[in-house]
Amino acid sequence: MVDFPGPSSDSFEHPLLPHDVWMRQALAEARAAFDEGEVPVGAVVVHAGRVIAAAHNQREALNDPTAHAEMLAITQAAEMLQSWRLLDCTLYVTLEPCPMCAGAIVQARIPRVVYGTTDPKGGACHTLYEITADKRLNHQAAVLGGVLLSECRDILQEFFAHQRSLGKK
């Protein structure tokens, strides 16, 4: 695992379950996306030791470019908590968030983000940008990457290999 810049890594200590347990739930969402022909990214939001939101990419199904797993999970979590401020939450996502999702993380005040694999073409928490750690913004999130890295990377590689074999994407 790689710990990236952000608030103290102590904020990543979870009293109930290790990160891989939550990431496996995000991977289950990614598998659902794969089965639906969506780019297999899954996300869960954990609050007070339980999952309060779970989503996967639905851009194709909804014809919505903003229907990323993180965006959908953030919306669900806000509805569940009846607040747009997702304080004391941790977002688990199989792929490093893009600039749009990283912006939503900052706007929602999510203090912790844990992701599986980096996104060399669009990662905005570490790879291309560090939006979640940008001190010029009004909020920062601690970010931990590399949790179940192989599994998170492999499902994406399998999906895109399959798409290429079909002459798509």
Which residues belong to the active site?
A: 70
CB of 40 within 8 A of CB of 56? yes
SS3 40: coil
CB of 69 within 8 A of CB of 55? yes
The whole-angstrom separation of Cα 94 and Cα 23 is: 7
The whole-angstrom separation of Cα 78 and Cα 75 is: 5
The whole-angstrom separation of Cα 49 and Cα 51 is: 7
